[in-house]
Structure 1
Amino acid sequence: MSLFDGEEERFFNPEIFQVIRREVYGIGDIEILPYGFRNIPTHTEDGIPIRKLYVTNLPPKTTRTELFGVFAPYGFIKSCWLRMGDKGLNRLSTPTYAFVTFSNPEDAHKALQAPSHEKMLRGRNLRTYPADSWHQPAEDSDGKVRWRPRSDRRYYEADSNNSIEQEDCPESSTDNANAASSETDPTTSEQGSTQNGKEESENEPCYTILDILNRDCLNHIMTYVPIRDLIRSERVSKRWQEMVHEYLQTIRTFKTSWWQYVPVRLTTAVLRHVLARLTLVRLHVDHPWSALNDRTAHAIGKFCPDLEELKVVGMHTKNWNPLVYGCKRLKTLAFISCNKLTDSSLVHLVKDNSSIEHLTVANNTHVTGLFLTGLNPLKLTSLAFYNCYSLQSTLLIAAIDSLPNLTTLKLDACPVTLWRKVPCILRKLSQLEELSLCEYSSVDVCLTPQLNDDFSEAISNLKEVKSLNFSRNIYITNAVLKQVAQSCRKLISLDISSCNSRKSFPYPGVGDEGVSAVCGGCALLERLDASYLARLRDAGLAAAARLPRLRALLARGNPALSAAPFARALAACHLLEDIDVCGCDNISESIIEAAVEALETKPRKLVLRLAGTAVSEPEVCNGHNLLTVNTQDNRCNPHFRPDFVDRILEDSSDDSLIDDLLEHDDFDDYIFQDDELFLEEDDDDDDVERYYYGIQYY
């Protein structure tokens, strides 16, 4: 078989050439060219080991990083130098040739031996040749290499007249490269290095980390660096500045609480400079020691046009109207512990053409709900109030009619008088999908049977509800849960934890009848929280086995429960993935055995939280890949347990803490031992508010 197609034509056959190439390639220091073979030496003619390679046929716009990435697989690269051509009028400078220097001659030999298809950049096969002797690093008799010092820049600036045009022929390219590199190569000869008296250590590379790591690695590293440090490091170099700007543009979430670990006071001016460099979608202004003023809202509205979520915690700003003019895409807005927030502050944020969909106000004493009346915010779908003592039920009833798209309502820890009007509110929200009425524990005002009947009747109107949260609500009874079982057929999540968690309390609360009714009527239930219920027994919780879609079952702090109802749920509920019985004293290790048997029938990942129970360190589940047993993290709150007794302020206590304080001889000195705690008369209103709210400014 001939290497050519015919004896007369003498055309090269590439298929036969590839077969011969594979067979002959392992001979040794041989490079197979299209028309023959060429030896690849390991030393120059003067006996100097070849460490530096001459590279040609570079594509336009080649960078050092790209060239480094091509030759890095063959070994450690000492330096990578790129010769750029002349820059003409309206024309960018293009690379002409490059020098790649390896620390080890063997690595350079591997790069020369590598086939051409491995040394490809942007569709071009890079041509590599050994550099001449006077370009190779000098080597002493003891084998120590003398590298050219990085501080010597004499040869880095080449005259524009020395640029050359590279030919396609390998031989002519080599000759031209040898002639041009003698004038433009940045490394000096052995004699030049001796005359200058400058030497560089072998361990000091001539490239930076920007040349080694790609953009994804650098972006991942930047996530561990505070934003303040990145901004301050922009002056390092222009290339680093561009990279930092590009990374900052990818940040979508920023919390000012991250600034608390920085020894620089966060002011509005500092926040303005940070927001100017970011393109945020979510912003949380929750810095605990901030010095932000009323101009903060202007800075957010100006520099965050793409903002979709804003959470403000502990600010004393009253005017938030600039958000309306700047943040046109704002959908989620939350004000937590903003003591100066009033209805006038919110009236422009939820006007008719507003884009707000989720509004939350928590820990406030000024908002009454008046801002919702007279408006028609069609996009508002979620409304949440927590611990708002000035909230008026009559205003909420009047505002519900103007909220046709409201699907989420949360009235948690609100005034007890509001509970009387809750049935009237629920009757107008037949499309409600999520309802939260938690933390109602006072019985002095509205604990009447008639009110409970009205609330049960209002629950029957919620045909579309999917999530109910009645945590720590003593007005929830078995009758309410029976109505939930009859009406709320689409219910997915139910939280009835701590609904009357005291054994001594005369009001019945939630027991076995209510839990059994819910488990029998709500077949779509996926999450059930029945923690801290004084009247819950094994018979009532055993009904959870009738829920085919149950995924999470929580029953913390119930001392009357055993492992039997949970074992039945594990055997019947094939989607169950999380069981939390922290603080249940009577839970034994039989629950682990039941979990192992259930996983053999229906394999899935299962987590058992058994801290605070009678289960010790489990041995049955050792080596089980699907079962996780946690006996260390106790999530049970002892104050919510049915058997909790307050030993500090009980009536039988003879050593009351209050009595000790009152009987103290110098009561005032006992409480206020430092006169500096009192404010001076010339303090302004802001200082007085800072004192009463315990805010420290640094």
Structure 2
Amino acid sequence: NFTEVPFNSNEAEPFFADKTEDNVPIRKLFIGNLAERTSNKDLEKLFSAYGKIEACYVKRVDGRSHFGFITYADVESTVRARQAAHRMELKLHSRILRVTAADSWHQPDSVEKQKKFPNKHNKSDPETVVEAPTPEPDNSDSVLSKLNDDCLREIFLYLPIADRIRVERVCKRWQTLSHESWHAVKSLNLSKNSWGLSPKIRVQVVDTSTLRKVLIRCGKFLTHLDLSQVSHLLSSSTLTIVGKLCPNLQSLNITSIPLSQSGINSLMTHCQNITKFMMKTLRGPSERDLSLFFGVNKKLKYLSVEGDEYIIGKSFTSLPQEVLEDLHLTRCTALLSSHFDVAINHLTNLKSLTLNMCVCLTDSTLEAVGNKTTITDLKFMGTHPLISANSLNNLTNLVNLQRLCLKENVAVNDDFLINLSQNCKQLTFLDLTSCQAVTDRGINPLTTLNKLETLIVNFVSQMTDEAITNLQSLKVFSSWGCKGITDSGIIHLINTASNLISLDLSATSITSESLQVAVTVTRKRKSNSILKMTIGGTNAHSSDIKEISPLLQIVNLDLSVLENTASKYEYLL
């Protein structure tokens, strides 16, 4: 589109192209700043002075300026109309109109329109072949030219996306085979490797126009599309294109693009078989539209929302009640228990739930969650200032719970862990990172959980050796920054937990004595499983060990430092 600037008679008039950057003829114009009383007839009468009009449409939007579209019979008319708008000659009902070329995919000669209305276009249309002049026949004697079609198609599949488009310029045969090779592409992301972009050059990114060219070729074959890469130049209209060109999507990740009303409507109209959907935030209050989107996607099993400030929870009541299994909500700061609880009660097959820093939730939500005995994986993390420590006991009703993450949850205390140990006997994974109210009194009862294999107690500063002496079922143990963990506790753990495969002891108080015991014990192992010990930031040094064990791997990294650094900037992601 073109940015309008006030006309100055002393300045040369800018050049107005007759084609978009995608080489699509410009016959359709976007008209903005229309008055409420402006009709189709008014708009057509004004713009007919610049050429023959094929179509005129006015869109009325509540609470905002209206807009419209004018479609001319030829490109010359659009140039004249834009020139007049630049000179500020186009006024209607006391308003100066904004006139720009409509996006490529809205143009009547675009590839999307050709696919939707094939009888209205012929081979002479400029957009029938998206890229480059028609290649000449290949009469060379090169080795590649002698390969059969199946071999060439297979070779093209291994090329980066940029190269796969370039090979279309070689000859007509390669162009045809390259187009056919896209049929096998079921998954697409924005990684530089897959696009053939240099990782050393930061300015090389994928924009909306480039993505559209690729989706024209493979969109209808895609089942998985990942647009989560942050380094891109995708505009808000991207999802409109995705909806039109990718009707068979099953998995869609748009966590780096705000979801607008037009984007929701496009996805809702064209993509109704989505089973996995990951989004970041709405672009304004469009939760009603999101409800409709959830309503038409009856097969949706997985939903993730990250960093949203508009969703209050009403839309979640439209999720497929018997189908949805995974619901993950992170930093949804407007989410209200009054609406979210209703949704939770309706989800009869919920198996995995994440609530991370959804700060407006109250105790009633944990009561609703506690009744969902279908849940096997729960993450209740971060700050929830309106939730009390007593309400956490509702979670102990989840008798089928296997994985529980309570990272950085200040409400977690010893009493809760005691109740958890008595009721949730299926637990195999427990993360208590930065739960500062937890002491040995709360961790000791975990020894009754015979299936517990992973225990993470990073930065639980009040924990000591006493808490870990009888955790015989453990396979993975991590205790970053726990100064109360010494050789005494770790040596006992190594001797009693015969299935240990990972000990992350970064910044604890162990010494090389623990390493020597690990060497001795692992050398006697009959299972041949390797024990990995991370010892950065401790007084343990691999150079102090006189013997080695083929079943012991020592890593001299302090992961607690890396974690602290990352956490400082996590809120920006």
TM-score normalised over the length of structure 2: 0.65
Tell me the CA shift for residue 211 of structure 1: 6.1
Taking a change above 3 Å as real, the CA distance of residues 566 and 222 of structure 1, as seen in their structure-2 partners, is farther
Taking a change above 3 Å as real, the CA distance of residues 639 and 206 of structure 1, as seen in their structure-2 partners, is closer
Match of 1:653 in 2: none
Equivalent-residue separation in structure 2 for 1:244 and 1:431 (angstroms):
47
Counterpart selection for 1:268 from 178, 187, 208 = 208
1:536 aligns with 2:460: no
Match of 2:514 in 1: 590
Match of 1:608 in 2: 533
Counterpart selection for 1:399 from 343, 347, 365 = 343
Taking a change above 3 Å as real, the CA distance of residues 513 and 551 of structure 1, as seen in their structure-2 partners, is same
Bigger radius of gyration = 1
Match of 1:422 in 2: 365
Taking a change above 3 Å as real, the CA distance of residues 370 and 229 of structure 1, as seen in their structure-2 partners, is same
Equivalences, count? 421
The amino acid of 1:268's aligned partner reads T
Match of 1:298 in 2: 240
Tell me the CA shift for residue 382 of structure 1: 1.5
Match of 2:561 in 1: 637
- Note the alpha carbon deviations across 1:117-154, whole angstroms, 9 max, x for none: xxxxxxxxxxxxxxxxxxxxxxxxxxxxxxxxxxxxxx
The amino acid of 2:407's aligned partner reads S
Equivalent-residue separation in structure 2 for 1:316 and 1:480 (angstroms):
38
Counterpart selection for 2:428 from 492, 508, 511 = 492
Counterpart selection for 2:389 from 430, 434, 452 = 452
Moved more, 279-288 or 479-488: 279-288
Matches within 5 A, 1:189-338: 207-208=142-143, 223=158, 225-238=159-172, 240-241=174-175, 244-245=178-179, 247-258=181-192, 261=198, 266-278=206-218, 279-288=221-230, 290-319=232-261, 320-338=264-282
Match of 1:473 in 2: 409
The amino acid of 2:467's aligned partner reads G
1:525 aligns with 2:452: yes
Counterpart selection for 2:356 from 412, 425, 428 = 412
Matches within 5 A, 1:640-651: none
- Note the alpha carbon deviations across 1:160-192, whole angstroms, 9 max, x for none: xxxxxxxxxxxxxxxxxxxxxxxxxxxxxxxxx
Match of 2:22 in 1: none
- SS of the aligned residue for 2:381 comes to coil
Consecutive unaligned residues in structure 1, runs of 5 or more: 1-156, 158-204, 501-508, 647-692
- Note the alpha carbon deviations across 1:245-283, whole angstroms, 9 max, x for none: 455444433222536758666443322221233333321
Tell me the CA shift for residue 408 of structure 1: 1.6
Equivalent-residue separation in structure 1 for 2:539 and 2:395 (angstroms):
39
- Note the alpha carbon deviations across 1:202-233, whole angstroms, 9 max, x for none: xxx9643576999889968964x531232122
The answer to whether the 8 A contact 2:381-2:408 is kept is yes
The amino acid of 2:364's aligned partner reads K
Taking a change above 3 Å as real, the CA distance of residues 215 and 574 of structure 1, as seen in their structure-2 partners, is farther
Taking a change above 3 Å as real, the CA distance of residues 334 and 694 of structure 1, as seen in their structure-2 partners, is closer
- SS of the aligned residue for 1:591 comes to helix
Equivalent-residue separation in structure 2 for 1:220 and 1:577 (angstroms):
41
Equivalent-residue separation in structure 2 for 1:409 and 1:572 (angstroms):
34
Taking a change above 3 Å as real, the CA distance of residues 257 and 374 of structure 1, as seen in their structure-2 partners, is closer
The answer to whether the 8 A contact 2:515-2:542 is kept is no
Taking a change above 3 Å as real, the CA distance of residues 214 and 610 of structure 1, as seen in their structure-2 partners, is farther
The amino acid of 1:580's aligned partner reads D
- Note the alpha carbon deviations across 1:422-452, whole angstroms, 9 max, x for none: 332223312211111111275xx65xxxx43
Tell me the CA shift for residue 341 of structure 1: 6.6
Tell me the CA shift for residue 369 of structure 1: 0.3
Tell me the CA shift for residue 621 of structure 1: 8.7
Tell me the CA shift for residue 584 of structure 1: 1.5
Tell me the CA shift for residue 535 of structure 1: 0.8
The answer to whether the 8 A contact 1:329-1:355 is kept is yes
Tell me the CA shift for residue 393 of structure 1: 0.8
Match of 1:167 in 2: none
Equivalent-residue separation in structure 2 for 1:573 and 1:215 (angstroms):
55
Equivalent-residue separation in structure 2 for 1:531 and 1:596 (angstroms):
27
Equivalent-residue separation in structure 2 for 1:561 and 1:232 (angstroms):
59
The amino acid of 2:425's aligned partner reads R
- Note the alpha carbon deviations across 1:59-88, whole angstroms, 9 max, x for none: xxxxxxxxxxxxxxxxxxxxxxxxxxxxxx
Match of 1:577 in 2: 501
Tell me the CA shift for residue 379 of structure 1: 1.3
Counterpart selection for 1:364 from 292, 308, 312 = 308
- SS of the aligned residue for 1:540 comes to helix
TM-score normalised over the length of structure 1: 0.54
Taking a change above 3 Å as real, the CA distance of residues 329 and 285 of structure 1, as seen in their structure-2 partners, is same
Tell me the CA shift for residue 284 of structure 1: 1.5
Equivalent-residue separation in structure 2 for 1:535 and 1:367 (angstroms):
38
Taking a change above 3 Å as real, the CA distance of residues 488 and 267 of structure 1, as seen in their structure-2 partners, is same
Tell me the CA shift for residue 342 of structure 1: 3.6
Equivalent-residue separation in structure 2 for 1:438 and 1:498 (angstroms):
10
Taking a change above 3 Å as real, the CA distance of residues 308 and 592 of structure 1, as seen in their structure-2 partners, is farther
Equivalent-residue separation in structure 1 for 2:475 and 2:548 (angstroms):
23
The answer to whether the 8 A contact 2:300-2:320 is kept is no
The answer to whether the 8 A contact 1:293-1:317 is kept is no
The answer to whether the 8 A contact 1:476-1:499 is kept is yes
The amino acid of 1:381's aligned partner reads E
The answer to whether the 8 A contact 1:469-1:494 is kept is yes
The amino acid of 1:552's aligned partner reads V
